[in-house]
Amino acid sequence: MTRAATELCVTHGAVSRQIAALQASLGVILVTGPRHALILTEAGAQLAARLTPAFGAIIDAVEAARPGAVREIEISCLGTFALKWLIPRLPSFLEAHPEVRVKLSESYVPVDYRRDRFDGAIRIVEPDQLHARTEATPFLSQHQGPVGSPSMMAQLPTIDALAGAPRLHSATFPRAWSVWAELADVSLPAATMEREFAHNHSLVEAAIAGLGVAIAPWAFVAPDVMAGRLAAPFGFVERSSRFVFLRPEGRKDAAVDAFRDWLVAEGAQSPSPPIPSTGPGG
């Protein structure tokens, strides 16, 4: 209720009264629970799911009717992916589509267009992972591998040496080391030292600073590896997950179509990671 009141520029009480009037008109309960933690009932969830695309279509139609209007699309994105992959490439999209403005918002949570109001989202998606009422377009493969500062990695010539280095991981994917070890067919002993960071962009900066070795996605570290700020002598292994663009199912939007198609083209041109190896010498 509070968020709705803020968005509509009315009081909390005004929203509550409108919800009560709507429930009385429909003859069904749409929300339930204590006032500070309301949730949608099944009827409320179904109504919201069916109305959301219609509200989106109304917004798009109104924006398109304005002469010379610029269409703004909001894209929810993983923060580190936005910083390291998306934003450096974004000028090419804006140059090709001056009629579209792109607003980026950072999020890691699963997408649910019964709740979410953005126009599209970029997430890492596993093959069996589903997002309700979305159209999913994979556009970039997912590779992971160990990275560290050049000076640190020069001191780790073998997998055994690598296993003894301080291990960095992010709170958003604490299983990174074990997943990489399984894919690379590597046996890792227990870590002698671990350091955790809240987000992947902090993890990458920690690896650059020489605080340890991180298992990181190639898309997150490619600019730093190619610039010599990070070294990846053991290469990267491919995971089954993919970077995927998620948009509301059935919602027609030329600006979002253009952004999706641009992502697919950019993904196809993205440089491939170094191949896996057992050591710097291959």
Per-residue tens of pLDDT for the chain, all 282 residues: 787 888 788 888 888 889 889 989 889 998 988 877 888 898 988 888 778 777 777 776 776 666 666 789 999 999 999 999 999 999 999 999 999 999 999 998 888 887 788 999 999 999 888 777 899 999 999 999 999 999 999 999 999 999 999 999 999 899 999 999 999 999 999 999 999 999 999 999 999 999 999 999 999 999 999 999 999 999 999 999 999 999 998 888 899 999 999 999 999 999 999 877 655 544
Nearest 5°: the CA angle 246, 248, 252 is: 115
Domains of the chain are: 2-40 (no CATH), 143-240 (3.40.190.10)
Task: Let me know: does 118 contact 76? Beta carbons within 8 Å.
Answer: yes
pLDDT for the residue 281: 45
pLDDT for the residue 68: 60
Q: Which residues contact 234 (CB under 8 A, 6 or more apart)?
A: 145, 146, 159, 162, 184, 276, 277, 278, 279, 280
Q: How far apart are CA 115 and CA 117, in angstroms?
A: 7
Tokens of 42: 């099944």
Q: How far apart are CA 275 and CA 267, in angstroms?
A: 18
pLDDT for the residue 38: 85
**Is the pTM here over 0.85, yes or no?**
no
- CA trace torsion 111, 121, 73, 92 (10° rounding): 180
Residue 32 forms beta bridges with which residues?
39
